[in-house]
Structure 1
Amino acid sequence: MNWQNYIHSNPNILVGKLVIKETRISIEFLLNLFANGWSEAEILENYPSLTSESIRAVFSFTAECMRDEFLYMAIPLSEAS
């Protein structure tokens, strides 16, 4: 998937946070919804401007960031158990 078709950053929208194109819904916000147990169906029902493809783009972007090592461990290895 080409996540760039669905995600962009504009300094005039949410201070430049990454958002789904043509919305003010940030990638961070969507990831937090999933982290708090929301399903895709619940998100689509509550945010009708989103599509299944735009939600998949969030995961595609995140996977690419991890693959390219943009994201790093938040817990030092000495504290992980």
Structure 2
Amino acid sequence: MSKRFPRITINPDQMGGAPCIRGLRIPVATIVKLLAAGMTEDQILQDYPDLERDDIREALAFAAEAVNERQLPLVESTS
């Protein structure tokens, strides 16, 4: 995709154009969801043998940057 995120690829003909890891059919969102669910890097690497540890770390960095690039609709708490 870019020099900043060389492991992230976006192909409109693959996975609906979702950002993926190195052209694999593994979306960045999948990696982030697995980490959020409590999986460790080692567990993810075991389940997805095509991934490398740097792929996971770059997916997190890419996701953090993506969140910074847009406003997210948040609902105020009414408690």
Fold agreement, TM-score > 0.5 = yes
Superposition CA RMSD, Å: 1.9
Question: Structure 1 residue 80: deviation in Å?
Answer: 6.6
When normalised by structure 2's length, the TM-score is 0.81
| Structure 2 CA distance for aligned equivalents of residues 32 and 67 of structure 1 | 18
Which runs of structure 1 show a deviation greater than 4 angstroms over 4 or more consecutive aligned residues? Answer: none
| Structure 2 CA distance for aligned equivalents of residues 51 and 80 of structure 1 | 43
Aligned residues: 77
What is the match of residue 72 of structure 2?
Answer: 72
1:24-35 superposed matches below 5 A: 24-35=25-36
| Aligned residues with identical type, % of pairs | 29
For structure 2, the 5+ residue unaligned runs are none
Shift of the 44–17 alpha-carbon distance from structure 1 to 2, 3 Å rule, reads same
When normalised by structure 1's length, the TM-score is 0.79
Residues 3 and 60, structure 1, Cα contact 8 Å, conserved in 2: no
| Structure 2 CA distance for aligned equivalents of residues 80 and 8 of structure 1 | 40
